[in-house]
Amino acid sequence: MSKVGILGHQTKDAAKLCLHNCPLLEDMAVWSQWALVFEPELGKLKNFVQKYGGVTTKQLDGVCFNAFEIDGFF
């Protein structure tokens, strides 16, 4: 029996579309309810973004910011 989230089977394209629609400066994990909807099937959000997107790190006044991108969907 495979693991699925509370909304049933979710594809990686559905996850990418969800993340693409996340408002700027929102916590993607909270906004998408990743742990409940996608994580049982697709794994941790950080691993998913690293595999199917990209992470850019910038430092400003000693504070480190990460920008997460999901490319190649549209």
Q: Give the model confidence (pLDDT) of 2-47 as tens digits.
A: 689 999 999 999 999 999 899 988 999 999 999 999 999 999 998 9
- Looking at the whole model, is its pTM more than 0.85? no
pLDDT band at 72 (very low <50, low <70, confident <90, very high): low
Minimal CA–CA distance to 24: which of 72, 68, 74?
Answer: 68
Write down the pLDDT at residue 13. 93
